[in-house]
Each structure stands twice: as C-alpha cells, then as structure tokens.
Amino acid sequence: MAVVAPEGPHADDAGQARAATGVLSGLLFEAAEASPNRIAVRDQPGRAAWSGRPSHAVSCALMAEGVRRLSCHLESLGLAPGTRVGLFLPNGSEAALAFLAVEHAGLTACLLDVTADAAEISRAIEVADIRALVSQGVLGDDRPAEKLCFVAAGFFRLRFLMAFGPRVPDGVTDLDAVLSRPVRVDPRREFGHRRAGDGMSITFTRAGPDLEPVIRPHTSLLAATVALIAAARMRPGDSILSLVPPDDLGGLASGLVASLIAGATLEAHGLFDGHGLWEALRDGAQTHLVAPGWMEPALAASGLDDALRSVILLHRPPARLDAVPSLPCRTVDLLALGETALLASPRTGAGGAGGLRLAGAADPDGSDLLAIDLAPNGELLARGIAVTPGAERLQNGWTATGYRGELSGDRLVAVS
C-alpha cells in the first residue's frame, strides 16, 4: 500500500527536480541568488541565556557566504573526500550552517545527539570512523566542546576539533573567528561542480548500548521530505518552527531539508522554552510547528492558535496514531520508522482522525518515492527512493523496517 499525501501531489515538478540533485548546499545557493534577503534560518528568541550566543536571523545570502567560508576551512584541513565529520550541536543556525558546509566541502556529516555522554560519543566516533568534530562552547550547564576534548584524548586518528563560541577551549579551532575572515573562493566550486547524488550524511540507530551508523545519500533524504511538504501544504515564504533536534532522519527532514526544498524559513529551537515558543508563534499565519508527538496533549491544553498553517507531530515507535484528535489547526502525523523511512499524512481537516492514511499499491518497478505494505506477520515493509539504502531487503524488493503495524481500515493506527 502506497503512502499518499491526500489533497495534493507529493510535490510539484520543480520540487521533485530539485530533490533529484541530492546536493543540499546547492539548494541554498540557488535561494541566495534568487532571494538573497529572505531569512534562511532564525534562532529561537532568548537563546543567549543558555548558549551565550545571540539569536540570529540569517539571510540566504549570509548563510551561503558562511557555508562557503566554513567549507573552505574544512578543505584546508587536508581531509580525504568523504571523511566523516561529527556534528555535536543543538538545533540552531550553527547546526544548519555546519551541516551544509560539511557537504559542500565533499565530506560526510555524522549527526550526534548533543545530549549524549562521553561513552556514547566515543562509541559513535569508533563505529563511524569520525576524524573531525564540530561543537559549541556552552549549552546550559554543559560544555560540549570541553566534553569532546576529553573524548578526543582517546582517539589518535581524531585530529581536528572545532567549536562555535563562547568559551572555546585551548586546542579547539574557534569557528566564529574562521567565519569572520573573508576567503578567496574558487568560482568553480559553486553549485554545479558536483555530480548528482554526491551529498551524503550519517545518523545512528540504537540497540541497547550499541550504535549502528546509517549512511544516507541525500537523494534519499530529499525524497523522504517531499511527501511531508505536500501533506503540510508548505509554500515559499512560510516558516517552519522546529522543536525537534536535527540529529536523525525525522528531525533533519522536517526542519532544514524541508525548508530548503519548500523555500521556507527555518526557526530552530535548541532548548524548549514555553515563553519563547509562544512569542515565536504570535504571528502563526504562515507557520508550520514541528513538535514531538508526545507534546500533542500539552499543545492542545495551551490554546494553540488555529491560525497556524499546520502542526507536524513527529512520532517514534512504539506509538499510537489514533488518539482523540484535539488540535484546532491542520495536523500532520509524521512517523519515523527508525532511520529507514519517514511516513507523512495529514488528518482530515482540523480535528480530523489520526493515523497515517494508506491507499493504492506500489508500482511494480518500485519507482515510488515511498510505498509501504504490511507483511502477513504484521511487519511493516517499505520501498522506493525515499527508503534509506542499506537496510535488509527482501527478495521482492521490499525493505524490512523491523516494526509491526496495526491497521484500522485504510489507516495505520499503531506501530510497535
């Protein structure tokens, strides 16, 4: 059964063409040329209180320039193409900039959970063969850059530590200083010099104390985002306000990647602040709020404005998707099947029934962006461009997700 986005196609032809390039930084450079003054990324209000960094509203032109400068610095390190660079950053403009710069430099971003302890970071460095790390000096009471210094002492091959300030430790490159220096950029390095599909990043799955790296081409990542854009009715000039950290498939697709494809502004909230959230939502007419699924009751009780363009609820198994509907605005259920697939479907109108709507059948050649099926044993199967390569594939071309589904009519209402 194919996952569909009712009331509209998966994406317009232009959106699908952009997604096919597989190079995220190229989407930013296109936006910088077409709309240089449009805000690409905005930080949450009041973040200086927990990060020591002011809240920035970064235009497409300034973001593109920052990506160029940081990617030039990364290239100057002499790392081999495809080298893994760990990103240990909270949700914010720096995380978006670093991710795009790593890709533009021809390297591979490894997304680390910024709340991870030293032991988990060490395991990630080992299993993914990370050779450089990018972090931040202050995160509330935590000091991420100092933590990475401690971890790096145990890895001879981990040669480069970089961090955004303040309080950048000795021996760690201050990226604020790097970005303040103009660089001479070879014009041949602009978007178009890469082969389609060159972009790639790594996230991690967890099985007890073990971590397993998941290598994802950006063609797959972009394809995974297209159905969400259609389900939420994202339009150029909209704003995506994300409360979800960008360290896995769900967080990355619903935030930075969606904003790049849709031409929307990303407002990134690194630590939850109720006052800051309501301040940011005061003018919600063009805003898509992305929040963890477990926040739905709290959002309903808070008197959420029905003027929001949509609320996107990111669910992670085990999850029930048929809860009593309670939000007054357009609601989209977004289900992350680990790091394998991302399923999106809108509820039927404000206060509509929950659950992911299923319909139709997959093309025999598997050319869908995404299709799912329920095996006789109840396991959810997936195939299509948006499915992360490398997962266990069955003989008929379907991918085993490792999750079991429960249907009610044509809707997926529970995953375990």
Q: Which two tokens stand for residue 35?
A: 């709309």
Give, in words, the CATH class of 218-415: alpha beta
* Contact between 248 and 339 (Cβ < 8 Å): yes
CATH number among 3.40.50.170, 3.40.50.300, 3.40.50.720, 3.40.50.980, domain 57-193: 3.40.50.980
The pLDDT profile of the chain, 416 residues, written as one tens digit per residue, is 333 333 333 344 444 444 455 689 999 999 999 999 999 999 999 999 999 999 999 999 999 999 999 999 999 999 999 999 999 999 999 999 999 999 999 999 999 999 999 999 999 999 999 999 999 999 999 999 999 999 998 888 888 999 999 999 999 999 999 999 877 665 545 443 344 346 899 999 987 678 899 999 999 999 999 989 999 999 999 999 999 999 999 999 999 999 999 999 999 999 888 888 887 787 667 899 999 999 988 888 887 777 789 999 999 999 888 766 678 888 899 999 999 999 998 886 555 555 676 543 444 444 578 888 888 888 888 888 888 887 666 767 788 888 998 887 777 888 99
Which tokens is 227 given?
Answer: 């159905």
- Tokens representing residue 49 in the block: 């209180």
Sorted by where each begins, the domain ranges of the chain are: 57-193, 218-415
Q: In 3D, which of 180, 167, 292, 193 has the Cα closest to residue 242?
A: 292
Q: Are 176 and 52 in contact (CB under 8 A)?
A: no
Question: Matching CATH topology for 57-193 and 218-415?
Answer: yes
- How much is the pTM? 0.90
CA distances from 392 to 47, 124, 321 (A): 41, 22, 26
> For 223, what's the count of Cα atoms within 13 Å in the CB-facing half-sphere?
23
Q: Please report the beta strands in 126-199, taking only residues with DSSP state E, as ranges in sequence order.
A: 130-136, 160-164, 173-174
